[in-house]
Amino acid sequence: MTRIDAKFAELAAAGKKAFVAYVMAGDPDYDTSLELVKGLPAAGVDVIELGLPFTDPMADGPTIQLAGQRALEAGMTLQRTLDLAAEFRKGDDTTPIVLMGYYNPIYNRGVDTFLADAKAAGIDGLIVVDLPPEEDEELCIPAQAAGLNFIRLATPTTDDKRLPKVLQNTSGFVYYVSITGITGAAAAEAGDVGPEVARIKAATDLPVIVGFGIRTPESSRAIASVADGAVVGSAIVAQMGEGKPVGEVLDFVKSLADGAHSV
């Protein structure tokens, strides 16, 4: 059982929904990013999604693209991202960390080396948005063998024919993308999301967490009411991009977490 599995079992036993926060590793620099990540659990974050900076983040909107650029310009690398996770783990051995990014940096490092290093750094799961299920032998299956969850995205265009393929080797949770398009592009609507979550839950026992288009405590609450939890990324990353103090950003994160937990 991974930390992700344990966390969702704990939440289910308590009748609580999950709040997942995405932040870009190294944005705007290593030290500030580490301070933010260390503060997330106390702000109510159940699962941390740690963005791996990449030069060509095709699924991400301008907010997260700019965050990745800031991180890369500040010297962030795959190794320093793993270092950040390892540093976080010195003070927190229970909050799950999902590394979210693209396959190129992992491929360049070598899959076996990467998986061993990620496991040693305290990473619990992976979301690699440019590896479809047809490429499961490449990373998904080796990751699961190494004890890491491999979390897949389902979208509004994932029809009933495609869904079993998406779910077949997924573990940890299913990430439902509430809108078509890139991160930060539109607002998620609970009325649209609810039936889709129900459709996915009919096909899997995994928790279904909804992300993209959630920016306020109200929308966090509304989405959590129709799913197993909510993910917020761009709205948090935008505050870092505005140069707000970490404490102020964490207050905002807490308001979002409180929204999801109030259901």
User: Would you please indicate which residues are annotated as catalytic (active-site) residues?
Assistant: 49, 60
Q: How far apart are CA 172 and CA 152, in angstroms?
A: 9
Location of structure tokens 């500040």 = 74
Helix (H) / strand (E) element for 18: namely strand 18-24
Rg of the chain's alpha carbons, rounded to an integer?
17
Closest by CA to 51, choosing from 129, 116, 132, is 129
Contacts (Cβ under 8 Å, ≥6 apart) of 108: none
What is the secondary structure of 72-127 as a DSSP string?
A: HHTT--HHHHHHHHHHHHTT-SSS-EEEEE-HHHHHHH-HHHHHHHHHHHT--EEE
End-to-end CA distance of the chain: 27
- Contact, 143 vs 124, CB < 8 A? no
Look up residue 189 and give its two tokens: 């609507």
User: Is 34 in a helix, a strand, or coil?
Assistant: helix
Contacts (Cβ under 8 Å, ≥6 apart) of 235: 184, 214, 215, 216, 252, 256
